Amino acid sequence: MNQATDEYDVIVLGAGPVGENLADRARAAGLSTAIVERELVGGECSYWACVPSKALLRPVLARAEARQVPGLREAVGGSLAAADVFAHRDKQVGNWKDDGALTWLESAGIDLVRGHGRLVGPRRVAVTPPDGSGGGERALTARHAVAVCTGTRAALPDMPGIAEARPWTSREATSAGAVPDRLIIVGGGVVAAEMATAWCGLGSRVTVLVRGSGLLNRIEPFAGELVAETLREAGAEIRTGTSVKGLARPGGVEGPVTVTLESGEQLEADEVLFATGRAPHTADVGLETVGLEPGGWLTVDETCRVTDVPDGWLYAAGDVNHRALLTHQGKYQARIAGAAIAARARGVERLDTGRWGEYATTADEAAVPQVVFTDPEVAAVGLTAEQAESEGRDIRVVDYDMGQVEGAALYADGYRGRARMVVDLDRGHLIGVTFVGPGVSELLHSATVAVAGEVPVDRLWHAVPSFPTISEIWLRLLEAYRG
């Protein structure tokens, strides 16, 4: 049981998926633990990011796949029932209430302190209660560790008219309850690609304005190319090499918005979404009281302990440390940081923080998996060929047309997809794998096991994929590799 005082072994700032997992690990190790949350327990991921976005995308992708199945195609020719899609999304996010999460916190024995938390010196946290709750500021002290898991918010560029135009960020794009007739999306990353897929599928006329040369530029180039091709076929316009210099919404938020491009051209839409990256919630968490610069990403070691803080009591996990802005990777960090905090609290002096050690977040560098839920799906782990080359690795790249795999052709008529594996020739194992195509998301973990497990390519030859599944892509890639 946690004690009733305001002194805890561990205090976690932020109850997103990462803070929840870190608190859970610490508590399971027998440490008294408090978690501080100023909005909803479950964080951005549960209410305005992963969960609602995937609820919006699921019917779009299911319909796209069904339209590639002869005999079924005609049955799914119509438009989506947007009201039903929104109702399902609302259910998945618990109607933006966190009752379910509170029950879990209680059962885990973690104390929740509602309010905005900030450091007020080493191991000390002040919590300002939410407006209108009537309580006063609460002072908490941590015996062993404070973990900052405060996540990120959408980063908006500084440009004339942006504040007054009230553009959508990822929050509005995932929680809106009406389909805009015309939607402009600024950005070419993961949020832009997924939200273009979702809103185009729901019936918006979507225009994506990409500053660079294409979509999803941190993944193998063929991924963004295939996604852009499908979006264009679905009626979206993708404009590359296009920068925005200003916004105006003279008629107020109910009226249309005008977007001015660098070229001087003006475009009009009913809504504009800025999907231009993330900024950390570190400006107002009291970093200056412990000798750190507020506002930036927090630099951590292999155990997620913040570097440059004497006595090693401050940790940062999840988006806020910028290692990998993904829920599953942040939860991995939380498991390792929670275990490290517990071990250090027990007085263990030397933790195994070597490569793939029990207390090292090695996968953050070597094997980060990501699924982008676009049409077609994109699933990638590890390094791209370009990243591997820029690290000076001696590699061999093998590509394969996934449409040639019997299981894929049976899965979807006219299956379009591509796979790539990147082999490190010095080490003899895979360091990167990318699949693009319908239904590839569930294939990704096989690649993650191969990359994180550093399975020798020769041994993979004995891992026989079932016929006729899409996973026979493994056989084709390995055959091509072996010649």
The residues that touch ligand NAD, with contacts defined as CB under 6 A, are 157, 186-192, 194, 211-212, 243-244, 275-278, 325-326, 370-373
Which residues fall within 8 angstroms of residue 265, CB to CB, at 6 or more apart?
Answer: none
Tokens representing 72 are 């079924």
Q: Which residue has the tokens 């200003």?
A: 246
Tell me which residue of 420, 430, 421, 433 sits closest to 457, measured CA to CA: 430
Rounded Cα distance, 468 and 412, in Å: 13
The torsion angles phi and psi of 428, rounded to 5 degrees, stand at 75, 25
**Dihedral sign computed on CA atoms, order 434, 220, 169, 56:** negative
Q: Which of 8, 11, 12, 17 binds ligand FAD (CB under 6 A)?
A: 17
To ligand NAD, the closest distance from the beta carbon of 217 in angstroms equals: 6
Between residue 229 and residue 268, which ones bind ligand FAD under the rule CB under 6 A? none
Nearest residue to ligand NAD on Cβ basis? 189
117 near ligand FAD, rule: CB under 6 A: yes
36 near ligand FAD, rule: CB under 6 A: yes
Between residue 170 and residue 189, which ones bind ligand FAD under the rule CB under 6 A? 170, 174
Rounded Cα distance, 89 and 48, in Å: 11
Contact 225, 248 (CB under 8 A): no
To ligand NAD, the closest distance from the beta carbon of 219 in angstroms equals: 10
Choice between 281 and 393, CB closer to ligand FAD: 281
| Count of residues touching ligand FAD (by CB under 6 A) | 37
Which residues fall within 8 angstroms of residue 435, CB to CB, at 6 or more apart?
Answer: 377, 378, 379, 380, 402, 417, 418, 419, 443, 444, 447, 473
To ligand FAD, the closest distance from the beta carbon of 71 in angstroms equals: 32
Rounded Cα distance, 319 and 47, in Å: 16
* Partner from ligand FAD, ligand NAD, none contacting 273, C-beta within 5 to 8 A by type: none
98 near ligand FAD, rule: CB under 6 A: no
Choice between 142 and 186, CB closer to ligand NAD: 186
Choice between 328 and 416, CB closer to ligand FAD: 328
To ligand FAD, the closest distance from the beta carbon of 17 in angstroms equals: 5
Tell me which residue of 58, 65, 59, 64 sits closest to 410, measured CA to CA: 65
* Partner from ligand FAD, ligand NAD, none contacting 424, C-beta within 5 to 8 A by type: none
Between residue 337 and residue 366, which ones bind ligand FAD under the rule CB under 6 A? none
Rounded Cα distance, 257 and 286, in Å: 38
325 near ligand FAD, rule: CB under 6 A: yes
Rounded Cα distance, 38 and 409, in Å: 49
Tokens representing 308 are 């440059």
Choice between 242 and 282, CB closer to ligand FAD: 282
| Residue 319: burial class (beta carbons within 10 Å; 0-12, 13-18, 19+) | buried
To ligand NAD, the closest distance from the beta carbon of 246 in angstroms equals: 12
DSSP secondary structure code for residue 329 in this structure = H
To ligand FAD, the closest distance from the beta carbon of 248 in angstroms equals: 26
Tokens representing 55 are 């609820």
Contact 194, 372 (CB under 8 A): yes
* Partner from ligand FAD, ligand NAD, none contacting 43, C-beta within 5 to 8 A by type: ligand FAD
Please name the amino acid found at residue 121: G
448 near ligand FAD, rule: CB under 6 A: no
Binding mask 37-66 for ligand FAD (x = CB under 6 A): xxx---xxx---xx--xx------------
Bridge partners (DSSP) listed for residue 321: none
Q: Which of 152, 204, 258, 361 binds ligand FAD (CB under 6 A)?
A: 152
To ligand NAD, the closest distance from the beta carbon of 320 in angstroms equals: 13
10 near ligand FAD, rule: CB under 6 A: no
* Partner from ligand FAD, ligand NAD, none contacting 372, C-beta within 5 to 8 A by type: ligand NAD
Which residues of this chain interact with ligand FAD, rule CB under 6 A? 13-19, 36-39, 43-45, 49-50, 53-54, 116-118, 149-152, 170, 174, 191, 281, 285, 318-319, 325-328, 330
